[in-house]
Structure 1
């Protein structure tokens, strides 16, 4: 199979900065109470729906995977960057971490109670995103939940906006447009959190987290 250029570029870029990235973001939740709150809500609704596993897709160095584990979820991480996965395995040896692509997950159909995609779609070109959303739907069990985080577009006439990310080209999304794409993929929005940028944030973008659910009869 020919690998997507965008995936190859972002994977190699994250391999190159993995150590720096891990140091920068290891404690990111400490000063983000709203992020901790939405992750707790995600853990609660997933737990209430059953005992299915949760995949942290685009897990990076594994710090969010470890946080979900502390919240009581049966969770494993997946990332395209082998360097990130090595760091995650070293930092959290009791947890499972696999290399893989969100566009072709090595996960059986309908087995996950939850999927977390925390800023892991931002390097996906807009025309390729439906494939990834279809994979999220495929691996979720009926009634399973997806939590997806991304930066918001601020131009109503453009549902996506490219921006110069420090690692690789990235994209911002209109929340309503992405919610519509989720619906088209069979994932209905349950809730959304909109957080205004902090004064200390390098990029002054709104941060969006959408919680969506796969139908029980899907």
Structure 2
């Protein structure tokens, strides 16, 4: 699938389901202590009076953006879906939300203290992940941090219905070793990871869940590393 095709199908799907998605997942973090722990660990690295902004990439209705804000993080959200951004702005009027794509972020080089990709890469074909990770590297300040959450596996599932609507959406389960390798090739150093079993709310449709903390080294070059084919 080409980059433009997957972006179009993902945007269309989430524009279709935005209100229902937001309502269903509104309190999801309440029952996920390990997920909250990883968000809290990330927050410790990027909060403080002199800390810069943190981008929640693929923020959807803004629930993770708002959670980070409650932890003292200067967080804002970016999402591909205009309707998701509309929901986020209505739900969290004090926070900033922008329409945008992780493949071409409208952010300056070295402008973000941190970035979160909370299950927002699960619709990206694996061969296009290097583009996303290179963009994250570009916008992070040297020493900036990344938290990424994704589904563990090695398969693509196609959804034709979800959240009460007909839709067309691919979901990718990705091997942790592939993600770690692609982060390294993008110039991002992995320093902590959590892989947990599915909880009761995720069974039986889902498997293990992964959470990686990485950072852009202080001596990292300013230019964006070359995107590489993960199959090579």
TM-score range, shorter chain: over 0.9
Partner in structure 2 of residue 161 of structure 1: 155
Further displaced range: 40-49 or 7-16:
40-49
After superposition, the CA RMSD in angstroms is 1.6
Partner of 1:174: 175
1:101-122: CA deviations, max 9, x gaps?
0000000000111000000001
Preserved contact between residue 89 and residue 96 of structure 1 (Cα < 8 Å): yes
- The aligned counterpart of 1:186 is 187
Gaps of 5+ in 2: 221-232
Instruction: Provide TM-score, normalisation by structure 2.
Output: 0.87
Offset of 1:199 from its aligned partner?
Answer: 2.8
CA–CA distance in structure 1, aligned partners of residues 96 and 57 of structure 2: 12
- Hey, what's the Cα distance between the residues in 1 that align with 2:155 and 2:49? 35
Give 1:128 deviation, angstroms: 1.1
1:112-153 Cα offsets, whole Å, 9 max, x none, are: 110000000010111111111100000000000000110001
Counterpart Cα distance in 2 of 1:205 and 1:117: 19
Cα deviation, 1:33-81, whole Å, max 9, x if unaligned, reads: 1111100000001237961210000000001100000100111000000
Match of residue 52 from structure 2: 52
Please tell me whether the aligned partners of residues 50 and 113 of structure 1 are also in contact (alpha carbons under 8 angstroms): no
Once residues 200 and 27 of structure 1 are traced to their aligned partners in structure 2, the CA distance between those partners, rounded to angstroms, is: 12
**TM-score, normalised via structure 1 length:** 0.93
Give structure 1 stretches of 5+ with no counterpart: 154-159
Give the total of aligned pairs. Answer: 211
Please give the secondary structure, in 1, of the residue aligned with 2:110. Answer: coil
1:23-34 correspondence to structure 2 within 5 Å: 23-34=23-34
Q: C-alpha distance in 1, partners of 2:3/2:16? A: 19
- Maintained 8 Å contact 1:49/1:144: no
Partner of 1:214: 216
